[in-house]
Structures are given as structure tokens and as C-alpha cells.
Amino acid sequence: MTDETPQQTPENEPTVLDLYKSVTKDWTSFFNFIRSLWDARRRAELNRALADEVARQIIEEPQPEEPARADHFPWRATLALLTALAAQFSLEPQYRQAALGLALYVFAIGFALWAHYNDEWHLPALPVFKQTPDDLSTRLIPFLLSIILALIAFLDFGGDQFTLRNVALWVLSLAFLFYGLWLKTPKAIQESTPETRRKKIIWNLLILAVFGVALFFRLYRTDSLPAEPFSDHAEKILDVYDISQGNYNIFFPRNTGREAIQMYWTLLVANIFGAGLSFLSLKLGTALLGILTLPFIYLLGKEFGNERVGLFALFLFGVSYWNNVISRIGLRFPLYPLFTAPTLYYLIRGLRTRNRNDFLLSGLFLGFGLHGYSPFRIVPILVVIAFIIYVLHEKTKETRRQSLWQLIIVAGTSAFAFIPLLRYWVSHPDIFGYRAFSRLGAVEAPLPGSAWQIFFSNLHKGLLMFNWDDGEIWVNSMPHRPALDFVTGALFVIGVALLIARYARGRDWRDLFLLVSIPILILPSALSLAFPGENPALNRAGGAAVAVILVGALALEGIASALSADKKRAVVAYGIVAALFALSAQQNYNIVFNQFDKNFRAGAWNTSEMGRVVSQFKKEYGETDTVWIVPFPHWVDTRLPGVWAGIPNRDFALWRENLPETQGVPAPKMFIFWNEDMETQTVLMTLYPNGTLSRYASSYPGKDFMIFMVTK
């Protein structure tokens, strides 16, 4: 290799504009340019770099060749859509016509396949494969430093606590890893005309409008829906309280163990919005996590189709009852789809473009996702399956060999991101795995049947959850209804059929992977062998929503393209899409803000009202140390009224047999107990004959409680 500048042809010779773009892209380039004015060696290096950059520029990513569309009106596709909508509508809880729904779906799939083979309903073309220039270079010293820092950080996390030192070592190890392996790639040059700029502005406004609708569904009535916390929220508040007291845990062993991200995120949200250690902080925090998922849903839609698929997926995911409920419940549930979406996006794009940077980013999200919600632990397995499917479809040994290195990059980067929890896992494998194993196997009691029979039964129910029955867990779902609204559910079924048909014809590994990802991502729910009644569960299958709704968006784009193949029919296509969006949004709104809200209030205990009573006592007497709640089987969690009263670290429980101990405590005193607990009432009236008994009339039917006051 010589030091001479590569020979340039007139077509690729650097221009003044190329020079300007090169020296102004960052401060380092600018200062190098200034020094080159008087340094001949630097000037020669700048010339070589500029020549190489111009030679490697990508004019624009090649556009995929869209499938042929029939010129005539797509009556078969329209009939398939209407039949599928009718089929899913017949499966709604108020109708539940299983036989009719199944029969209609058989016809709908038949019409869809008929339309597919007559060029009336094709899924959008997958983006084309391309080779990103990669000189296989590595900045060796930063890379070696990253390994050394990672090992030191791993050892320093042995105290099971985050400290300034080990976090700094961990972050530096990741920074050096990325600096050592990150590939500088030229940016694509896109032609810009007034027409393209106008279209881009309109498209961006449309995206913002859809995103605004999704924001409404995530944030509307966050303060009151869900209305009441339950025991898991009390555990979370205590974990966050521990952090506020300086206990910076890597893993929180309370209540069978929890990963750390939500705890630290909630504390951040509480401080930013001034909501304190409250139920609102939990709900607002998880709602924001649900919002952070949305951009990656759009990007995944583009990666599996085009911008319109991304827009459709963004809308359907944004208004989805499934994702709306698990995002606003105040628990770790939205962390599963949040990290699944970017992990898969960068993985699929990396395998398509063979861009090293995408594998680094995929690994980063994969590793961080393991700090979020335990069902995400299935995603590393899905990543390996993706590589297996990819390799089985590739014909050249070089590509297969290269994919091994790409898998190593993903795995290695995720290991770096996972270091704190990995260290905890090594030190406490029993605690780290207890929650998963308590669902998977017989930890405390034998399984209720054959493990394989339970698993296949669970898997069957899990695959039916999208269109038939989402389970019986009332705290995070509307029990025994489909997880999807009837529009998305119909599109999903047709989308699956068309994906299978396209894979049979084209053998593109991405179609197969998208299909396979759905049963894999519901495994955290299906593997609840010890408690099969907890399956299906919207929360533990939440990652599957990413793939399921993407399939529905692909189908919707297919029918929209079919209807608008003739420009005269474009208005009809837009009208049908708008109508489907309106129906989907209306039903999802009703499910979440009416049905779920009403059902949740019926099942939840009115701890907010008890919290107000405690707050009133504090306001009147200046203390709460003499306030107690007498526990009763299947009644309130006695920690939660304190959360409402701004006392997140106290359990107000005082068992009936311990009531005599309160006689030595100076008045005023207040006792709250269940209205049917006559024994407690008798004990209190015996201990305090001058006490005052009153009944609190709850706004929740049948949930009144008793208040016994002692003021002397």
C-alpha cells in the first residue's frame, strides 16, 4: 500500500461541497482541516480520507421491487377483509360464536389466498439486502481496555450494589467497546427537491398525528386508571424507598425477586414530576416506558416493509388495549416489549445490511433488557434462533462464517451490558432464578399434571389469546376477551396466512422468523407450568405484541396498496384505512377506559379511601403512629393506605390478638377494620368502652369499612 491519494475519475472526484461536508461533520474533522493548512502530512492524510469517503458514498439505499398489483378492483381481497372482520367480530365476548367465527375465518383465509395468487393482496416487499462497507478494522487498544474494565467492573459488582466506582467502570467498558468496534459508515445521499421536501413534511406531520393519538391512549386518565394499587405495587414502592435511603441494589430480592430498571426509573420520574413515592409515580413511569417503545415499532414496520407499514404499526400498537393496559398498570410489564422491539429491529437490519454497528446496538438493548422484566430472558434464545434461521437460508460459506462473528458481537455486547446482573447471578443463582423456576417447575408443590401436557395446553391457549381468550388475570387485562381488537385481530389472521404463502414462494428468512417469533415470545406465559391458571397472561406475553401487531400492519398495508393500485381508487383506500383506524381506536378506548376500569374497580380494594382517612387523622392530630389497620383474610394490603397517605415505608397492620397492647399508648388512636369482622369490633369495644364506632360509606359497592376512634 502506498501513501498516494487514490486515483480519481471525473465521476467520483471530490468536489468543494464534499470537502465542506467532510470537514464540518464534527469538531475533530474541523480541527484536522485547520492543522492541514500548514502541515503537509496532515493535508495528504485529509486528501486520502476525503477520496476514500467519496468513493464509499452510498447514493441511496436501493428500493425493493414491489409485487405486481392487479389493475382491476380487488374484490377477492375486499371480500377476504370483510369476512375476516365478521369472523373476529363474532368472537367478541358479547357474541362468542366460536363455530361461526372459525367457519368465517376459513372462508376469509381462502379468499385472501385466492386474492394473493391473483395479485390482489400482496404483502409489501421486504427491504433489499445490501453489503455495508466493512474493512474489518478494530481499534485494538480501546477494545482491549474495554475487556479489562469489564472484568474489573464484574469483580467490583460483587457487593450486590451499584456504586459510583463500579458504574463508572461499567459505563467506560461499554464506551470503549463501542469505540473499539464502531464502524464509520458514510451517510446516504438523498436527492432533495421541493416536491420531495413537501412530501416529507406532510409525512412527518402524519407521523406526529398518529404519535399524538398513541400519547393520548397512554397518558389519558393516568391518575385514575387503574384506580387502586394492589400488593405488587406495595412491594415496588418499598424497593424504590430503599433506593431513596441509599440502598442501590442491583437486584431486589423482595417478593421473589425483581430486576432493577423500574425501581430507578420510578425514582427519577417521582423526582422530575414531583409525584413522590406514590402509585401515580409507578403508573406514570410505566406509561412513559410504553411511549418509548413506539419509535421502534415504527422502525420495525419500515424494516419489514416500508414507511406506511411503520405508520400502520405505530397506530395499531399505540391504541392497542393490550399494550395500553400493561403500560399504565405501574409494574415492569412494558419493559418486555420496550427492549424486544429495538433488539429485533437492529438485529434484523444488521443481518440485512451486514452492518457491524447494528449488531452492537442489538446486543446493547439485549443486555439492558435483561435488567428490565424477567420474561425478557426468552429474547436471547430468540436471537440465537434468528441466526439459525438466517444461516439455514444462506448458501455461501463466507456468509455463514460471517454470521458467526456477528452473533459473537451481539452476545459479547449484551454480556457487557448485563455485567451487574451477571455478577449477581453468579453470586446468588437461587435468588436470581427463583421467580422463573417457581412458575416453571415444582419449587414448593408438585405440578398439577404432566409437565408436557400442561405446556402444550398452555401453548395452545397462548396462541389463541390474540383472537379468542386472553386469560383470567383481572389486574392487568379484561378477562376472557381477545387480546386484540376485532380490526387488528382480523388483520393478524390474514397477515399470518399471507406470510406463510409468501414464504412458500420466496423463502425469505425474515418471513419465517417473524412467524416463529410469536410462539417464542409467548413462552414466558406458556411456561407457567406450576400455575397454568396464570396463562395466558398479557404481561408475560407482552413481547409478542410487537410481532403480532406488526403482522397485522403488514396485512393492512397490503390491502391498502391493492385498493390504491389505481390512483382513482386511492381515496377509497384511504377512506377504508381511516374507517378501520376509527373502529380500532373506538373499541380499544371502550375496552380500556370503560370495561377494564369498571372491572378493575370491582375487584380492587379501596385503599385510597383508607389513605384519605389516615391523612385526615394526621392533619387533625399531627401523627399517624397511633393508627392501625386490623388485617382480615382476603382484604386489603395494610401497606397500601400508607402509600396514599405519603408514608410508603410503614405497614399499618395490627393483628386482632395484639390489640390489647395498644392500651398503654396515649390517645388519640384510630383502628380501621373490615365491616364484617365482628370479633375485632367486640374486642375493641371491650378494650375501649368509651370509643366511637363509625362506618365509612365507600364509593366502591360492598366495600365499606369500620373506623373505631379513641380520643381519651
Using alpha carbons, list the distances in angstroms from residue 346 to 113, 355, 400.
31, 9, 19
Task: Please say if the pLDDT value at position 518 is more than 70.
Answer: yes
On whether both 597 and 621 belong to a single domain, the answer is no
**pLDDT recorded at residue 8:** 44
Domain assignment of residue 148, yes or no = no
Domain assignment of residue 180, yes or no = no
- Segment 684-707 shows an average pLDDT of 95
Closest by Cα among 340, 664, 706 to 524: 340
Higher pLDDT, 439 or 388: 388
On whether both 436 and 524 belong to a single domain, the answer is yes
Domain boundary among 602, 629, 660: 602
- Segment 31-43 shows an average pLDDT of 65
Q: How confident is the model at residue 434 (pLDDT cuts 50, 70, 90)?
A: confident
Q: Find the angle CA(27)-CA(30)-CA(33) to the nearest 5 degrees.
A: 150
Residues in the chain: 712
On whether both 505 and 526 belong to a single domain, the answer is yes
Long-range (24+ apart) CB contacts under 8 A made by 442-448 are 442/530, 443/530, 445/530, 447/529, 447/530, 448/530, 448/532
Domain assignment of residue 166, yes or no = no
Higher pLDDT, 35 or 429: 429
Closest by Cα among 286, 283, 236 to 260: 236
Higher pLDDT, 34 or 93: 93
Domain assignment of residue 382, yes or no = yes
For 190-247, write each residue's pLDDT tens digit.
667 888 888 889 999 999 999 999 999 999 999 999 999 999 999 999 999 999 999 9
As a whole number of angstroms, the distance between CA 157 and CA 143 comes to 21
Domain of 633?
Answer: 607-710
- Crossing angle for the helix pair 321-328 and 279-304, to the nearest 10 degrees: 140
For 644-654, write each residue's pLDDT tens digit.
999 999 999 99
Mean pLDDT of the chain: 90
As a whole number of angstroms, the distance between CA 150 and CA 166 comes to 10
Long-range (24+ apart) CB contacts under 8 A made by 140-146 are 140/180, 141/180, 142/176, 142/177, 142/179, 142/180, 143/176, 143/177, 143/180, 143/181, 144/180, 145/176, 145/180, 146/172, 146/173, 146/174, 146/175, 146/176, 146/177, 146/179, 146/180, 146/416
Q: How confident is the model at residue 49 (pLDDT cuts 50, 70, 90)?
A: low
Number of domains in the chain: 3
- Segment 488-501 shows an average pLDDT of 97
% the chain with pLDDT above 70 = 90
**pLDDT recorded at residue 339:** 98
The single-letter code of the amino acid at 321 is: Y
On whether both 283 and 370 belong to a single domain, the answer is yes
Q: What is the pTM of this model?
A: 0.89
Lowest mean pLDDT among 46-55, 336-345, 627-636: 46-55
For 289-306, write each residue's pLDDT tens digit.
999 999 999 999 999 999
Task: Please say if the pLDDT value at position 535 is more than 50.
Answer: yes
Lowest mean pLDDT among 151-155, 410-414, 533-537: 533-537
**pLDDT recorded at residue 7:** 44
As a whole number of angstroms, the distance between CA 290 and CA 688 comes to 51
Domain assignment of residue 354, yes or no = yes
Higher pLDDT, 16 or 478: 478
Q: How confident is the model at residue 396 (pLDDT cuts 50, 70, 90)?
A: confident
On whether both 497 and 459 belong to a single domain, the answer is yes
On whether both 101 and 217 belong to a single domain, the answer is yes
Domain assignment of residue 400, yes or no = yes
- Segment 496-506 shows an average pLDDT of 95
On whether both 361 and 404 belong to a single domain, the answer is yes
On whether both 45 and 100 belong to a single domain, the answer is no
**pLDDT recorded at residue 264:** 97
**pLDDT recorded at residue 9:** 45
Q: How confident is the model at residue 682 (pLDDT cuts 50, 70, 90)?
A: very high
**pLDDT recorded at residue 11:** 44
Do 318 and 585 meet the contact criterion of CB atoms below 8 Å apart? no
Domain boundary among 602, 628, 662: 602
Task: Please say if the pLDDT value at position 20 is more than 60.
Answer: no
Higher pLDDT, 198 or 285: 285
Higher pLDDT, 69 or 577: 577
Q: How confident is the model at residue 10 (pLDDT cuts 50, 70, 90)?
A: very low
On whether both 584 and 619 belong to a single domain, the answer is no
Lowest mean pLDDT among 46-50, 200-204, 458-462, 584-588: 46-50
Domain assignment of residue 67, yes or no = no
Domain assignment of residue 187, yes or no = no
Higher pLDDT, 37 or 90: 90
**pLDDT recorded at residue 605:** 96
**pLDDT recorded at residue 30:** 60
Do 314 and 211 meet the contact criterion of CB atoms below 8 Å apart? yes
Beta partners for 692?
A: 709
Task: Please say if the pLDDT value at position 474 is more than 90.
Answer: yes
**pLDDT recorded at residue 394:** 85
Do 661 and 668 meet the contact criterion of CB atoms below 8 Å apart? no
On whether both 123 and 264 belong to a single domain, the answer is yes
On whether both 343 and 489 belong to a single domain, the answer is yes
Lowest mean pLDDT among 15-24, 160-169, 197-206, 383-392: 15-24
- Segment 40-68 shows an average pLDDT of 62
Four-residue CA torsion sign, 376, 377, 383, 389: negative
**pLDDT recorded at residue 64:** 75
Instruction: Give the DSSP letter string of 661-705.
Output: GGGGSPSPEEEEEETT-HHHHHHHHHH-TT-EEEEE--SSTT--E
As a whole number of angstroms, the distance between CA 139 and CA 400 comes to 25
Task: Please say if the pLDDT value at position 109 is more than 90.
Answer: yes
Cell of 95: 357474541
On whether both 675 and 651 belong to a single domain, the answer is yes
φ/ψ region of 480 (left if φ > 0, alpha if ψ in -120 to 50, else beta) reads left
Q: How confident is the model at residue 436 (pLDDT cuts 50, 70, 90)?
A: confident
Burial 647-685 (b: 16+ CB within 10 A, else e): bbebbbebebeebeebeeeeebbbbbbbeebeebbebbe
**pLDDT recorded at residue 185:** 75
Beta-carbon contacts of residue 485 (< 8 Å; ≥ 6 apart): 319, 320, 321, 583, 584, 587, 588, 591
Higher pLDDT, 185 or 526: 526
Domain boundary among 602, 623, 644: 602
Beta-carbon contacts of residue 424 (< 8 Å; ≥ 6 apart): 157, 160, 250, 251, 432
Write down the residue that cell numbers 417464542 correspond to.
Answer: 520
**pLDDT recorded at residue 255:** 83
